[in-house]
Chains A and B, each alone.
Chain A
Amino acid sequence: DIVMTQSPDSLAVSLGERATINCKSSQSVLYSSDNKNYLAWYQQRPGQPPKLLIYWASTRESGVPDRISGSGSGTDFTLSISSLQAEDVAVYYCQQYYSTPATFGQGTKLEIK
């Protein structure tokens, strides 16, 4: 199984400041045939299901604000929120869909400082 490790486990950022969450996979999730990273990011607000934010490591889902972005390739990925808003308080998960079983990171809890 591919192990997904996120850092930090929790993060407190001031409103309007930048938040950065890291995700590292135990093996590359870059598929050479299509040159795509099989990596997604989800946001889970309290009491709600996960919501897709980013796929193919850097493609923003429709309706997701452009202050949220994804980057990285191979085994190291980053989710960035450029100007934190109150609505961004949530747990964020990365997920690889490169191989079965699909696996998620342990989650990063983002709070307001």
Chain B
Amino acid sequence: QLQLQESGPGLVRPSETLSLTCTVSGGSISSSSYYWGWIRQPPGKGLEWIGSIYYTRTTYYNPSLKSRLTISVDTSKNQFSLKLSSVTAADTAVYYCARHNGGFYSYMAVWGKGTTVTVSS
């Protein structure tokens, strides 16, 4: 059964870079035609799609975050990662990784449990 697990620091200082990794188990990140994505949820608020990547490194980014965002994939480790630079308190959220059901224009079929990131000095 496919499982996704987010990991990374729970506390990031303002103006620094937030870095998270999603480890995929129960399936290969590169063996199937799936996109892999990041979604976040600020405390008490709704869901915001951040960006998605294919194992060939093709990416789609939310324009609202694009200037600060890098999503990468490491097929040898079966992981994909998110880096968000110049963070502020507005980036405080639960960050989820998820697998699309196919190409980019598809729904999020499998989600990780999420990891909480707080931006604070």
Within 8 Å of chain B (Cβ to Cβ): is A77? no
Q: Could you tell me if A49 and B96 are in contact, using CB atoms closer than 8 angstroms?
A: yes
The residues in B between 73 and 121 inclusive whose CB is less than 8 angstroms from any CB of A are 96, 101, 104-109, 111-114
Tell whether A100 pairs with B104 under 8 Å between CB atoms, given A49-B113, A52-B109. Answer: yes
Whole-angstrom CA separation of A50 from B111 in the bound complex: 7
Q: Could you tell me if B105 and A97 are in contact, using CB atoms closer than 8 angstroms?
A: yes
Within 8 Å of chain A (Cβ to Cβ): is B60? yes
How many chain B residues touch A (Cβ–Cβ < 8 Å)? 21
B103 to chain A, nearest CB (A): 10
How many chain A residues touch B (Cβ–Cβ < 8 Å)? 23
- Taking a contact as CB atoms closer than 8 A, the residue among B47, B48, B62, B101 that contacts A50 in the complex is B47
Within 8 Å of chain A (Cβ to Cβ): is B63? yes
In the complex, the 7 A-B pairs of residues with the closest C-beta atoms, listed nearest first: A40-B107, A49-B111, A102-B49, A104-B47, A55-B107, A101-B62, A107-B46
Residues of B within 8 A of A (CB): 39, 46-49, 60, 62-64, 96, 101, 104-109, 111-114
Residues of A within 8 A of B (CB): 38, 40, 42, 48-52, 55, 61, 93, 95, 97-107
